[in-house]
């Protein structure tokens, strides 16, 4: 045995025999801890994802919570603008209702402006308070109320299609389809309100939060279809040849089509940004430009207030007005009401259209004064009609040669002063007093008979028989006068 090598004693054997077991005991915890560490990492990732998509941490678009320096003054400005838009549209609606012209789309524009005003109010409250209830109301009004204005564009597209293609526009599938789209807006609003509320209350429950997010994505996707329907309908109507468009409302059909397409384009931009933010959540401080404040205020509030102002300025109540009870082709331009009732609901644009339909050479005059009628939208329409053929018999006081040629006498080239006109007026009055009287029916008067000689009683003779009475009454001298 080599002395330099220790023999394996009991202690050494125990030490040698215990080495594998000790190593096993040391390595065993690391193997057992692996399954326990995995749920911890998954829970941390789920918590981090919940923090990123938590609505209380920022906008659903991913922007930061509103601040006092930037968001507060901007939101106050938009609040005032939306309140002004609500006042304008409800004033137009009430003015039309008084004249029997109920344009319900103006009422929908008022509802949308009020929803956006409430959105701005809760966002202002969000600046001063971080309560989840205030944030929840701000997100509900922001995401749920946007679909109200989509109904207006759907009816615009429906009336344009019916005007350009009456056969398709008044068909049962198209009419039923537009009614279904418009009727689906309230359920979609309820769906988004419910999903956002559940999402706020399910940050600690990933499964329930996933269901809420899925419902929110469904509502956002349906809003994309609602805002895209006017594009598809108007594009197909303009692309397919058809009969002469049926006239409805006031204004040109090109103006109506351009207005509907522009409004739909602005609203589609905001709806697309909201849908993208719903499908691609980001952390509030992710640094993505699409989730910044500039994109949020431009694509959402700015584009929406532009549409509100554009529809009020263009007077959609006159452009897209159709007669009540229209149900078949030809009803848009048919005069189904009586003369009295139709006169009560005619607007300025409709009166102009009626005048243009006559084909007469005319000119619409703009009144140079204001009255109580102009405050209610019932200002009068002044028009001058020019005859296309002369009427010589109706030209009184005009030379016969000019009357035959159908011309009026030219105006004097020299200007007459006021003093000269007054003097000529007095002269014409004095000359008119010396002018012989006109006879009956415009004939010249008969000349007056000569004055008879005077009698002795200084009376005029009234008949030739009285001539003999002069000699018997008194003698006369050489001059023929009686002598006394």
Query: Do 151 and 108 meet the contact criterion of CB atoms below 8 Å apart?
Result: yes
The predicted structure's pLDDT at residue 368:
61
Hunting for tokens 């003097």 — which residue is that? 423
Q: What are the tokens at 358?
A: 């006559």
Q: Name the class of domain 55-319.
A: mainly alpha
The predicted structure's pLDDT at residue 70:
87
Burial class (CB in 10 A: 0-12, 13-18, 19+), 277: buried
Measure the CA angle with vertex 69, ends 64 and 70; round to 5°. 55
The predicted structure's pLDDT at residue 209:
83
Cα–Cα distances in angstroms (integers) from residue 446 to residues 283, 309, 437, 439, 451, in the given order? 110, 76, 9, 8, 15
Query: What single-letter DSSP state applies at residue 383?
Result: E
Rg of the chain over CA atoms, in angstroms? 47
The predicted structure's pLDDT at residue 80:
96
Burial class (CB in 10 A: 0-12, 13-18, 19+), 405: exposed
Q: What are the tokens at 236?
A: 């197909």
The predicted structure's pLDDT at residue 241:
87
First to last CA, the chain: 213
The predicted structure's pLDDT at residue 413:
57
Per-residue pLDDT of the chain (484 residues; tens, 9 = 90+): 443 444 444 444 444 444 444 444 444 444 444 445 545 555 555 455 544 556 666 545 544 678 888 889 999 999 999 999 999 999 999 988 888 778 889 999 999 999 999 999 999 998 898 888 888 888 888 888 888 999 999 999 999 999 899 888 889 899 999 999 999 999 999 998 998 888 888 777 888 888 888 898 999 999 999 999 999 999 999 998 888 888 888 888 899 999 999 999 999 999 998 888 888 776 656 667 777 888 889 988 999 999 999 999 999 988 888 887 777 777 777 654 444 344 445 667 778 777 777 777 777 777 665 555 455 555 677 788 877 765 544 444 444 554 455 455 566 556 667 677 667 766 655 555 555 555 555 555 566 677 766 665 555 555 555 445 444 444 555 554 544 4
Q: What are the tokens at 76?
A: 């106050």
0.85 exceeded by the pTM? no
Cα–Cα distances in angstroms (integers) from residue 109 to residues 58, 149, 273, 407, in the given order? 28, 7, 22, 54
The predicted structure's pLDDT at residue 21:
42
* Domains of the chain by residue range: 55-319, 360-393+400-405
């Amino acid at each position: 045995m080599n002395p330099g090598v220790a023999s394996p004693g009991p202690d050494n054997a125990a030490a040698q025999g215990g080495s594998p077991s000790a190593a096993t005991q040391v390595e065993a915890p690391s193997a057992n801890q692996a399954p326990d560490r995995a749920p911890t990492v998954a829970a941390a990732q789920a918590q981090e994802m919940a923090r990123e998509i938590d609505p209380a941490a920022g906008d659903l678009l991913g922007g930061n919570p509103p601040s006092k320096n930037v968001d507060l003054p901007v939101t106050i400005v938009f609040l005032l603008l939306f309140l002004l838009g609500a006042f304008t549209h409800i004033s137009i609606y009430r003015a039309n209702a008084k004249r029997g012209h109920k344009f319900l789309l103006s009422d929908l524009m008022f509802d949308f402006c009020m929803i956006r005003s409430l959105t701005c109010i809760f966002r202002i409250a969000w600046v001063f308070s971080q309560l989840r209830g205030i944030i929840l109301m701000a997100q509900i009004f922001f995401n749920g109320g946007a679909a109200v204005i989509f109904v207006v564009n759907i009816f615009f597209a429906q009336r344009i299609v019916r005007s350009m293609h009456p056969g398709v526009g008044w068909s049962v599938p198209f009419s039923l389809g537009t009614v279904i789209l418009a009727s689906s807006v309230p359920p979609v609003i309820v769906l988004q309100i419910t999903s956002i509320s559940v999402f706020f209350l399910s940050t600690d429950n990933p499964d329930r939060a996933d269901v809420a997010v899925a419902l929110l994505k469904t509502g956002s996707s349906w809003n994309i279809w609602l805002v895209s329907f006017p594009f598809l309908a108007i594009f197909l109507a303009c692309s397919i040849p058809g009969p002469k468009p049926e006239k409805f409302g006031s204004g040109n059909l090109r103006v109506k089509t351009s207005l509907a397409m522009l409004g739909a384009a602005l609203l589609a931009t905001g709806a697309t940004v909201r849908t993208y933010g719903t499908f691609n959540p980001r952390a509030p401080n992710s640094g993505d430009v699409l989730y910044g404040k500039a994109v949020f205020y431009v694509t959402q509030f700015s584009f929406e207030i532009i549409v509100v102002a554009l529809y009020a300025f263009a007077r959609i109540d006159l452009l897209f007005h159709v007669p009540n009870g229209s149900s078949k082709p030809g009803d848009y331009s048919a005069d189904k009401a009586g003369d009295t009732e139709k006169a009560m609901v005619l607007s300025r644009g409709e009166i102009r259209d009626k005048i243009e339909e006559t084909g007469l050479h005319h000119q619409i005059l703009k009144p140079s004064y204001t009255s109580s009628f102009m405050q209610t939208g019932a200002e009068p329409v002044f028009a001058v009609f020019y005859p296309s053929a002369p009427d010589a018999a109706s030209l009184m006081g005009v030379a016969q040669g000019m009357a035959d040629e159908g011309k009026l006498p030219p105006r004097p080239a020299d200007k007459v002063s006021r003093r000269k006109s007054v003097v000529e007026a007095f002269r014409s009055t004095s000359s008119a007093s010396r002018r012989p009287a006109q006879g009956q029916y415009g004939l010249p008067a008969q000349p007056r008979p000569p004055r008879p000689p005077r009698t002795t009683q200084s009376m005029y003779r009234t008949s030739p028989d009285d001539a003999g009475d002069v000699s018997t009454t008194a003698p006369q001298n050489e001059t023929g006068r009686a002598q006394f």
